[in-house]
Amino acid sequence: MNTSYRIPGMVVRDHTFALPLDYANPKQTVSVYAREAVAPGKEDADLPYLVYFQGGPGSGSPRPTLDSGWIMRALQDYRVLLLDQRGTGRSTPITAQTLAGFSGPQAQADYLMHFRADNIVRDAEAIRQQLIGAKPWSILGQSYGGFCAMRYLSASPEGLKEVMITGGIPSLMRPTDDVYRATYRRVVDKNRLYYQRYPDDAALVRNIVDHLRTHAVLLPGGGDLTVQRFLQLGLQFGMSGGFEAVHYLLEEAFVAGADGKQVLNWNFLFHLEQMQNFDTNPIYALLHEACYTQGAASNWSAQRLLAEFPEFAWDGAGPVLFTGEMVYPWMLDAYMQLRPLKEAANILAATAAWPRLYDVDRLKHNTVPVAAAVYYDDMYVHREFSEETAAVVPNMKLWVTNEYEHNGLRAGGDVVLGRLLSMLRGAI
């Protein structure tokens, strides 16, 4: 245990753990950081732990503030452990800088294969044993964190007292292509809803696309703003307020240049770049498709399947459609911090050596109580696949709702977490 400090509403402590990179060959270690939060006056109380698994992959855990939403609700009952999953935040980070010292792309790829949910869960189990020994704890997984929770249930259920999941029940068996076909269909629907709300944006988006097709545009951070990269703004469509975030950005897209002709506004380019965090969170691009792969190669699934959806063509008569939560090989050229990792990313996409993530037979005999929020209109995690998994795993209660989008835990965290706790305790 390291430093301890106070902010209004909580006392925070830092933990850092040296854990094996490869649990089958534990010579090399990585550092894994976790931030513990407890309500003031309860620092020495015998409270149960609630461990939070962040979405992503590739994002650090939330940094608690004065208004920490679900965390404040959790602190009524728990000691909260905010885990920076390996490769993120204050844990040994994965960036172009940290990978530059490897001997080559193959060595980088071999290293990166240790940063999926299977090893994230092994880390959590090692931390549990260090902090509380044999006693089980509770976990909360948001989005990709829910994938980690399902892996935990599959691999080490003895470490779990109860599980809560928000927007993150994965398919247990379906191939990667099934996931991305379903994702494309949902993104088409979100585009339709966006243009229904903001019909005038159809012409504006078309103008931006036409401009980018005929002009080389460099972003403030040095990356290239291609048509494909611009259309990745659709990633916002799965969040509450995402339509507005894109619409208000587009409002300021063009200004008059020195010669009086329209140019893309520097402010627009700056704010667009801030909405795309692939440079700062490279794990997302490098391992996103690997979240689903089990004993097979993804072979850039989203790129291959795009041809099956002509709605995304730029030359159609209708509005140009944004893409969503997909990664593509062209990103390795357009994003500055992904360029040095291009060859490693291609190796990862081509490998079939990914271990299975879920033991379905074991999950069929689950005894750990699970409560999960499934968002009816979720753009990122297919509702039908979540329900398919829940039908296989006993002792799992679902709350299926269209009151929230994928970021329901952030948008209404006290309500969402309170509902899941009531489900676990039999009040609902």
288 annotated active-site: no
Rounded distance, CA 394 to CA 404, Å?
Answer: 25
Rounded distance, CA 291 to CA 301, Å?
Answer: 12
End-to-end Cα, the chain, rounded Å: 38
Report how far Cα 240 is from the mean position of its chain's Cα atoms. 16
The answer to whether 232 touches 338, Cβ cutoff 8 Å, is no
178 annotated active-site: no
If phi > 0 it is left, if psi is from -120 to 50 it is alpha, else beta; for residue 282 that is: alpha
187 CB-contact burial (10 Å; exposed 0-12 / middle 13-18 / buried 19+): buried
- Selecting among 84, 118, 279, 378, the annotated active-site residue is 378
Rounded distance, CA 36 to CA 50, Å?
Answer: 10
DSSP string across 51-73: EEE-STTT-PPP---S--THHHH
Nearest 5°: phi and psi at 415?
A: -70, -45
The answer to whether 81 touches 34, Cβ cutoff 8 Å, is yes
406 annotated active-site: yes
Task: Please name the helix (run of DSSP H) or strand (run of DSSP E) that holds residue 212, with its range, or none.
Answer: helix 201-214
- Taking residue 158's Cβ as centre, other Cβ atoms within 10 Å add up to 9
- Selecting among 143, 171, 298, 386, the annotated active-site residue is 143
- Selecting among 114, 211, 288, 406, the annotated active-site residue is 406
Catalytic positions: 143, 378, 406
